[in-house]
Structures are given as structure tokens and as C-alpha cells.
Amino acid sequence: MKAFKVFCFTGLLLTPLWASAGWVRQTSGTTTWLYSVCFPVDPTTGYVVGGYISNTILKTTDGGASWNRQAPQDTTKPFYSVCFPVNVQTGYAVGRSGIIEKTTDGGASWSDQVSGTAQPLYTVCFPADDQTGYAGGWSGVILKTTDGGASWGSLPTAASWVTAVNFPADAQTGYVVGGSGMILKTTDGGTSWTSQSSGTPYVLRSVHFPVNDQTGYAVGDSGTIVKTTDGGANWSGQTSGTAVQLNGVHFPADAQTGYAVGSGGTILKTTDGGASWAAQTSGTGSILQGVHFPADAQTGYVVGGGGWILKTTDGGVGVEETEGNKQLAEGRIAVRPNPFVSYTTLPGHEAERFALYDVSGRKVGSYKGDRIGEGLAPGVYFLRPSTGNARPARVVKLR
């Protein structure tokens, strides 16, 4: 039997699982714009919002294997940002014409809140609980609630356009970014704001302080990435390696490993605090808007235009481009023995590493070529070649 052929297992067509190295497209069920993604607790249950003429709220409870549409009270205004601050039950979505909606039952029902503005709201953040939160948008609007959205009040600022807000640790110290490189900081819950020098004239579209209120990143137009390590007293530019518009930035667990997304299907990753950024393969040319890694730097989601939802479980890296992987993709080497009992091997490539996936497309491990599948339960698995659209090699563990 040849080492490569089209394999089907219990009716599941496997080829799309290997569509792009490290990032896999999910079936969103929509082709509209998707702007924001939030997984409140873990990578299993999450929400995505968007829309163009009307709005869209999607929810998954199985890590993105399926997405179900939810019904907001007002269906006419697109949502631009979503936040579930504490758990998967209570969340907020904001968008066009000042719309704010809230759910307390995991999205089974959504209700309108009175924002007091007709300006578009692009961002929402509840820093520590589901009671005190902030929203920002066009014309420098910054709103605050301290009663879970029962009432929203306007905060005075000198901003002209707020695109993103981030309060890293509590409801007192926070940052907003926006047009013309604007960065504002508050240390008193928004009563007063101090302008900071970003060093760029370009629009900043996203800001994130991952651990505390000292070290943070902002991204924006023309590939702009700026970083501070002293609470915004100084911001320095970083080399992104791109000139496209960057719309989202997220550092999942610390200030070292983070991701930025933007136009043209751009996904960037750093593992050294932004000293260097490397492009990843997204498999799309769509504008990517939002990125979120719920628990660690391995499993994350990206959303964007055309209903695109992407997921990675390996930090977006995919399979290392080794000679063994190239030969595996081209069918020039075969796994032996196959089927196997304890483990199988790739002769001549024993020292290289290969990724192994189950029939659902979930990565189950990375193995050296001399111990592939060791310790796994019996079943059908697939070695993923490094070439993004190459067919996987099926291996069968008997016991």
C-alpha cells in the first residue's frame, strides 16, 4: 500500500484540517465582518461579534468546532467589541450608534442599555468585575458604568477618536488609544486623563497591558507597534516588518509572547517582548480584526472580514520545515511499521520532530522520528506534513 492517499474516517473529510500552517479556519456560518473575539475562562466557550448592515453574535461551547448565532434585542446595528469580564454568563457588546447590550445568561438573551450617545462605540472593557466598565468610540467618547450598565456616564477627555481601551489590573489605572497616535492614561478611574507621547502620527487601533500597568503594547496603521515599560512615560517604536494596518494585539500570559493581526491576513508573533516580530501563515487575505488567546500562548483565535475565524493550538507555528517533513509531504518516505503497537518511526529522520493529530484535527503531540506515537492510546492518527496543503499521512496504533 502506498504511503499517501486520500483518507476518510467515519465520513470525515480530513484535507481541510491542514489548510494553513498553524492556523485552521473554522466554520462560522456567516460571511459578514467579525470584529471582536472573547473567550472568558478557557479555550472552550467563547463569543464573536460583528456585522455590516445588521449585527452578529456567535457563540461556541466546543472550542470553535461549531458556532451558533445568538439573538440581540436590537439586530440593526453592528457590534464592534465584546467583553465577558468574569465568566461565560455575563457579558457586554458595543457598536454602531452607541449600542450597548448585556447578557447575564450566556447569551441566551441580550438586553439594550442606555448609553447616552449616538456615536459608534469601538471598544468595551470591564477590568475586574462585571460592574465597573468602560466603553469608547468616535468623537472621543469615553463612557463608564459602576452598576453593571444600568447607567452609563460620559467622562471628560481631550480625545478626538477612541479605538481601544485597556485597564490592566483594576478600574483605576487604564489607557485609551486612537487617532493621530493618541494615548491617554488615567490613574483615578477616568476622572482625569494625561496625554502621553506615542512617537507616531498614525492611528493606534489596539492596546494591551498583559501583566500590570507598566509594560504594554499598542498597534495601528502602517505596521505601527509601540511599547512601554514604564507605564507610558516613554513609548518606543518596534520593527513589525510590515506596513499594513494592524488592528489587534494580545499578549496571553506575559509581556514576552504576543500576537498582532491586521490587513491582508497578517498575523505577527513575538517571543522576545517585541524585539522581533515574525509573520505567520493565516491562509487568508482578509482583513483580520481581533485576536484572543484565553489561557496560554498556544491556543488562540483570530477573527476578521468575510466571516473568518481562525484557531491555533500550537502558537500558530505549525510544523517545522525540516527535510524529513518535506520528504513526508512529497511521499518520498514512509512510516514504518504501520500499523504499529508501541511506536513507529520515519527511517533516516529519527532526530527530527513531527506533529501528530487525531481525526478531529487536534494536535496530540510532537514526536521525534524514532518514537512517533509512543504513549498514545490506540487509534487512527495523522502525521502532518510541513507543506500547508499537502495530504497528511495516516498511522494506526493497534494497542
Predicted confidence band of residue 338 (pLDDT cuts 50, 70, 90): confident
Q: Residue 166 and residue 213: Cα distance in Å, rounded?
A: 10
pLDDT at 117: 97
Q: Residue 59 and residue 317: Cα distance in Å, rounded?
A: 26
Task: Give the tens place of pLDDT for each residue, 143-169.
Answer: 999 999 999 999 998 888 999 999 999
pLDDT at 328: 57
- Mean pLDDT (the chain, rounded): 88
Cell reading at 110: 441580550
**What domains does the chain contain, in order, with CATH numbers?**
8-15+320-397 (no CATH), 22-312 (2.130.10.10)
pLDDT at 321: 45
pLDDT at 40 > cutoff 50: yes
Q: Return the bridge partners of 103, or none.
A: 91
pLDDT at 363: 75
Closest to 386 in 3D by CA, of 19, 16, 21: 21
Chain Cα centroid distance, residue 230: 26
Closest to 197 in 3D by CA, of 237, 165, 157: 237
Counting other chains too, the contacts that 224-228 makes at CB distance below 8 Å and 24 or more residues apart are 224/181, 224/200, 225/249, 225/260, 225/274, 225/277, 226/198, 226/199, 226/200, 227/273, 227/274
pLDDT over 90, % of the chain: 71
Average pLDDT over residues 81-93: 98
- Is 329 strand, coil or helix? helix
- Is 53:6 a contact under the CB 8 Å cutoff? no
Alpha helices in the chain (DSSP H): 323-330
**Amino acid letter for position 194:** T
Task: Give the tens place of pLDDT for each residue, 180-205.
Answer: 999 999 999 999 999 999 999 999 99
Q: Residue 131 and residue 104: Cα distance in Å, rounded?
A: 12
Say what the pTM is. 0.78
Average pLDDT over residues 61-66: 96
What is the sign, positive or negative, of the torsion defined by CA atoms of 230, 235, 241, 242? positive
pLDDT at 3: 34
pLDDT at 326: 53
